[in-house]
A and B are shown apart, each in its own frame.
Chain A
Amino acid sequence: MSKSHSFRDIAVVSVASYQTKTLSEVNEVQLMADLISKCRNSAGVTQEEIGFTCSGSSDFLAGQAFSFVHTLDSVGAFPPISESHVEMDGAFALYEAWVKLQIGEVDTALVYSYGKPSAGSIIDVLATQLDPYYVSPLWPDCFSLAALQARLLLDKGLITLEKMAEISMRSQKNGFDNPNAVRSSKDVSFENLMNEPAIVDPLRASDVSEIADGGCAIILAAEDKAKSFCERPAWIKGIDHRVDSHTLGVRDLTRAPSAFLAAEKAGINTDRLDLAEIHAMTSTQEFILEKEFGLNEKTLVNLSGGCLASDTTMASGLIRISEVARRIISGQVDRGLAHATSGTCLQQNLVCILEGE
């Protein structure tokens, strides 16, 4: 970040998240009413004290026009509140809230996002985000596109099937301690993962994300307000997001330059990084991002299990921020990176560096 500006100190002070395979009868309003009130209660803050509310969700996922307006029922928008919404992952809603806090008009913000991919076909929903003239009418699914990316990585000798299995194994083992993990196993074996047949060659079932329903709520606060809500706030030391081309054919799919740049601008400093939570739909995308961030053995990756354990479209990125923040708030780690992605094959990337005092 530029040193010519003076930035306000802003922190994550409270988080709540929930993920499960299928919510079936629980609707988005009920899910979020529960998570938002848990999140506000643990910070000891009421909606009337919150200066700005921002959410991330998708009408294409819900199958309902203006579905986010309906979900405002879970916030309690009376007396009237200052509110905004992004048709992106909640991590990008958090970015908007962070900007609002930087402007200095408000001192607190509520950010939330949610998704119920179980209601429809997630691969069809995600195909509609592609170029509407040349690509979307072909209905390529997100995992097939990620498989093209994986094939490039393998053919260039940048990754091996063994390395992919190691990433999947790490996810399943880490996910064991995460109550929100849908796919996890304490004693998953490397051999079993290697012997799995490919479902979208070269990706095996364990290489692709475990689609889950769920949501996440986060409270942000500035300066002294943050200290009053939380004993050890997770301060946002840097946050940045960058975009690569929407056109798949012009990108080197083995790289994610926008992730590299966002990390650099957010002030990553890999020598002092205890934890990285990475938002990636496949083991191979997780690999690409680790390389772009230049992570070394000092940094633990995806202690939550990441998206290979539980992937909630529209909320997975915000959940990465909540996973890093809650470990800082509890004192488990001091400094971490949270990453969120949007678009196809890591097109857009957001990096948030969090630190406790």
Chain B
Amino acid sequence: MTDPNLSPASLSEEIEIPESISGLEPVRSVRSPIKLIYDFVPSPPVQEYLRSYSKKKILGHRSPIDGAVFVPPRGVDPRHGALIEESVELSDKGHVGNFCVTNLPIPGRDDLDIPYVSAWIHLDGANVGFLGLVAGCENDEVHIGMRVQAVWKKEEELGNTAENILYWEPTGEPSVPVEKAGNRAWDQRNE
């Protein structure tokens, strides 16, 4: 039986190569490049969200089941598989529900110095977190419950994209108690 621990080169030595191709370098890999092109059309809720977002408005979706507000809106309450049609405008203020200090760079984001803080921002009026960066303070000052506000791009740089908020900065307001911050409030709501 072939030893599975042998290197590919030593495996190839066991193969009897026909005379016509002996002496040639063995083929060890094959490249089959695949390129597929798609036309992705965002669904109406996503289109509405992106258009509003370019005007510094954050839209959420209110569940018809229990009124929970999801952001960004996806047209459905994923807990129940129920379609959502009601949009609500949310504040660009909220609190840090949870956060992470990252020491690895993001490919393509050379502008981002490490370590940086990414966080679930719980917008006032929303029931789920909204992903963003926290800056404008020392990383070790970031804490669960810290009140933050969006720092938007300049007017002329806004667009139909998820990149309109540069980061979230502390407001200096009193923090939300840890036991009421982020998804902990969600759990209490469901109790």
Contact = CB atoms under 8 A, between A and B. Distances in A.
B33 to A, nearest CB: 8
A88 interface: no
Contacts of B30: 132-133
Interface string B155-176: 0000000000000000000000
Contact of A120 (B38, B42, B76, B81): B38
B83 A25 contact: no
A74 B80 CA distance: 8
A347 interface: no
- Most B C-beta atoms less than 10 A away, residue of A29, A47, A132: A29
A125 B43 contact: no
B56 to A, nearest CB: 25
A76 B81 contact: yes
A63 interface: yes
Nearest to B43: A27
Contacts of A136: 32
Given A29-B76, A73-B76, A132 B82 contact: no
B36 interface: yes
Interface in B44-74: 44, 47, 74
B79 interface: yes
Nearest to A127: B34
B83 A119 contact: no
B105 interface: no
A133 B41 contact: no
Contacts of A132: 30, 32
Chain B: number of interface residues, binned into ranges? 20 to 34
Contacts of B36: 60, 63, 120-121, 124-125, 128
A121 B39 CA distance: 10
B39 A120 contact: yes
Interface residues of A, number: 31
B38 A76 contact: no
A73 B78 contact: yes
A128 B42 CA distance: 26
Interface string B104-140: 0000000000000000000000000000000000000
A47 to B, nearest CB: 7
A132 B32 CA distance: 7
Contacts of A121: 36-37
Contact of A119 (B40, B44, B81): B40
Contacts of B97: none
A72 interface: yes
Closest 8 CB pairs of A and B: A76-B81, A63-B38, A73-B78, A78-B79, A27-B43, A76-B80, A120-B38, A137-B32
Interface of B: 30, 32, 34, 36-44, 47, 74-83
Interface of A: 24-27, 29-30, 33-34, 36-37, 47, 60, 63, 72-78, 118-121, 124-125, 128, 132-133, 136-137
